[in-house]
Amino acid sequence: MPDASFLAWPFFEDRHRGLAQEIARFADGLGELAHAHCDVDAACREIVRRLGAAGWTRHSVAGEAFGGAADRLDARTLCLARETLAYRGGLADFAFAMQGLGAGPISLFGTDDQKRAWLPRVAAGEAVAAFALSEPEAGSDVAALKTRAVLEGDGYALDGEKTWISNGGIADFYSVFARTGEAPGAKGLSCFLVPADAPGLRVAERIETSAPHPLARLRFDNVKLPADALIGARGEGFKIAMSVLDVFRSTVGAAALGFARRALDEATARAATRKLFGGAMGDLQMVQAMLADSATEVDAAALMIYRAAWAKDAGAPRVTRESSMAKLYATEAAQRVVDRAVQIMGGHGVVRESPVERLYRDVRALRIYEGASEVQKVVIARQHLMEFQKGEGTG
Ligand code: COS
C-alpha cells in the first residue's frame, strides 16, 4: 500500500482525503490497462472512457455549467489524481493528464460557446483533448514558433507543423498555438481550437517512445478556421500557454511523485525480504543509505508539489515559481529514486515489463516535457531576480 500519511498535511481539505481514497480504488480497478499496451490508442481511449464514466475527468475542466466538478480547476485534486494513477501505471496517468492540459486553454480562456461545445464531452470522457504547442524548432523557446494563422475574411488559415503532440492521432480536438503577428516574438501568438477532422490537418508521423503513448507530428495545410475558433484574445497566445502550464506543471511533478513512491515501495519490499550475506538486504548500510535518500526525496517532492497546488487553489494570481520548482525537483528526484530502485532490485530491475523496469522508462520523459528541467531553472531564476528587484524598488 502506498504511504498516505501526507494526506494529513494542512494543504488538504477533507474532500481531498476522500477523493484520494476513491481514485486509488478506481486506479486499482484498471489493472493491466493502466500500463502501456500493444495498442496504446485503444487503451488510451478506453482509460479516458472509464475516467469519464467514473466522474474523474470532471476534474479536468473548469465550470460546473460545462460538466466540470467545480468552477475552478482544483490543482490539489489534479495532483492527487496524477500521483495515484501514476503509482499504478504511466498510461493511466497520461490519459488523465492530457484531458486537463488539452482542454486547459478553453477552461481558462474560452468563450461560453467554446466551453459548451467541448468541455462537457471532455468531462464525460467522450472527447479526447490535446495541447499543440511544440514545433520542430520551438519547444523550450515557445516565442520562436512558426505555425502561422493568417486572417482570411472573417476567419483564419492555419499553416505549419507541430510535433511531440501527446494524443496526436486520437484527439478529437487540439488547442493549437500559432503566430498571428501582432508583434514579434511572444507578443504575436494566438491560440485556436481546431477539431481533429478539420480539412488540411493530418498526422504526418506517429512517434514511438520508450514509454509508449499516443504521440505524433501534425501538419496543418491551409486549415480554414472560423473567427470563433480563436481562444482568448489575439496576441495573447503566449500568456495563455504559460498560464495553462502554470496550473499543470505541478501535476507533472505529482506524476513523478507517483512513480517515485511506487519505486520506493518496490525497493523497500525487496530490501526487507531478500537475504544476502547471512541477513536481510535492508540490514546493509549501503542499502539503507539508498532507502533513506529516496524516502527523504519523496517527502520533499510531495511538500513542494502540494505547496504549489495549495497556493494555486488558495487564489495566488501566479504560481509560476512554485509550480516550476515543484516540477523541477520532483521529476529530477523521481529519476534518482527510480534508478536506486533498479539498483536494489538487481537483475530483476531490468527485466522487461517488471514494475521497476517500467518505471525506469516511464519517468524519463517527465524531465523533458512541459518545460525541460533547464527551462524550469530559467523560469525560477527570473522570478527570483524579479522579486529581488521589486524589493529593491520599494526599499
Ligand atoms: N503567466 C502569465 N504570463 C506570463 C508567464 C506566465 N507564467 N510567463 C511569461 N508571461 C508573460 C510575460 O509577463 C511577458 O509579458 P509582459 O512583457 O507583458 O510582461 C510575456 O509573457 C513574455 O514573457 P517572457 O519575456 O518571459 O518570454 P520568453 O520568450 O523569454 O520566455 C521561457 C522564455 C523559457 C520562460 C518560455 O518560453 C517557457 O516557459 N518555455 C517552456 C515552454 C514549455 O513548457 N515547452 C514545452 C512544450 S509544452 S509540452
- Say how many Å lie between the CA of residue 87 and the centre of ligand 1: 31
Residue type at position 363: V
The DSSP secondary-structure symbol of 111 reads -
Cα–Cα distance for residue pair 324/34, rounded to 1 Å? 27
Alpha carbon distance, N-terminus to C-terminus of the chain: 52
Residue 132: strand, helix, or coil = strand
Give the per-residue SS3 of 266-307. Answer: HHHHHHHHCEECCEEHHHCHHHHHHHHHHHHHHHHHHHHHHH
| Residue located nearest, by CA, to atom 40 of ligand 1 | 140
> Would the pTM count as exceeding 0.85?
yes
DSSP code of 231? E
- Give residue 393's pLDDT: 55
Query: Residue 394's pLDDT is what?
Result: 52
Those residues with Cβ within 8 angstroms of residue 94's Cβ, 6 or more apart along the chain or in another chain? 44, 166, 213
Q: What is the dihedral angle through the alpha carbons of 2, 211, 353, 263, rounded to the nearest 10 degrees? A: -30
> Ligand 1 centre and the CA of 342: distance in Å?
37
Distance in angstroms (rounded) separating the CA atoms of residues 155 and 227: 4
- Is 13 noted as a catalytic residue in this protein? no
Q: Give the pairing of strands 275-276 and 279-280.
A: antiparallel
Angle between helices 75-88 and 90-109 (to 10 degrees): 160
Q: For position 36, what pLDDT does the model report?
A: 72
Answer for the pair 231, 331: CB distance below 8 angstroms, yes or no: no
Among 135, 137, 141, 142, residue to substitute to test ligand 1 (most atoms within 8 Å of Cβ): 142
Please tell me the predicted confidence (pLDDT) of residue 160.
98
- For ligand 1, whether the C-beta of 188 sits within 6 Å is no
Measured distance CA(320)–CA(241) in Å, rounded: 12
pLDDT given at position 2:
80
Nearest to 179 by CA among 193, 158, 155, 198: 158
CB atoms within 10 A of CB 351: 11
The answer, yes or no, to whether any atom of ligand 1 lies below 6 A from the CB of 372, is no
Find the helix packing angle between 237-273 and 285-313, rounded to 10°.
Answer: 150
Q: Which residue has the cell 490543482?
A: 75
CB 180 within 8 A of CB 189: yes
Residue 118 neighbours by CB under 8 Å, 6+ apart: 103, 106, 127, 129, 173, 193
Distance 142 CA to ligand 1 centre (A): 8
Give the pLDDT score at 191. 98
| Nearby residues of 87 by Cβ (< 8 Å), 6 or more positions away | 2, 27, 258, 259, 261, 262
pLDDT along the chain (395 residues), means of 10: 88 96 97 88 97 98 98 97 98 98 98 98 98 95 96 96 97 98 95 98 96 96 98 98 94 98 98 95 98 98 98 92 97 98 97 96 96 96 93 62
pLDDT of residue 395: 47
Q: How far apart are CA 107 and CA 71, in angstroms?
A: 9
Q: Quick check: CB of 316 below 6 Å from ligand 1?
A: no
Please report which residue ranges of the chain form alpha helices under DSSP H.
14-30, 40-53, 75-88, 90-109, 112-123, 237-273, 285-313, 320-345, 355-364, 373-394
User: For residue 258, how many other CB atoms are within 10 A of its CB?
Assistant: 31
Whose CA is closest to atom 48 on ligand 1? 370
Ligand 1 contact via 371 beta carbon (within 6 Å): yes
Residue 394 sits at the vertex; the CA angle it makes with 388 and 395, to the nearest 5 degrees, is: 85
Q: What is the pLDDT of residue 391?
A: 83
